[in-house]
Amino acid sequence: MPSKKTLDEALHVRLLIDNPERLEFIDWVNGNWRQANLGRFYQDEDVLDNAVFELTQAVLAAEGRTLGGGSANQLRNNVNRATMPADAVSAMFDACQDAVPL
């Protein structure tokens, strides 16, 4: 099962890839990206939900696991544009608890 640190690093990379212009370079490097809610990076709720879901699935796939239907839906419900990155990582970690083998 992925650690919170692994999920945090993966989220950092995903946000940087999806929206590098949302923050100054120094904010990406020094950790200030964690101070902005996910709405700063994603204008659309569905795009946000899909990004977090896909990211979690990708991290789990590296371990030969996947989210079950209930966990996937709960993860989508637990993140929104007001969610802070640390809270998104916690939601991702919780969803990973119920991951099943591929």
Reading the chain (102 residues) residue by residue, the pLDDT tens digits are 899 999 999 999 999 999 988 899 988 999 999 999 999 999 999 999 999 999 999 999 999 999 988 899 999 999 999 999 999 999 999 999 989 999
Q: Is-contact 92 7, C-beta < 8 A? A: yes
Q: Which of 13, 36, 25 is nearest to 84 (CA)?
A: 36
Distance CA 70, CA 28 (A): 33
How far does Cα 60 stand from its chain's mean position?
A: 12
CA-to-CA separations, 89 to 2, 24, 45, in angstroms, rounded: 11, 22, 17
Give the structural domain span for 26: 4-101
- The pTM score is 0.93
Q: What is the pLDDT of residue 1?
A: 87
Q: How many domains does the chain have?
A: 1
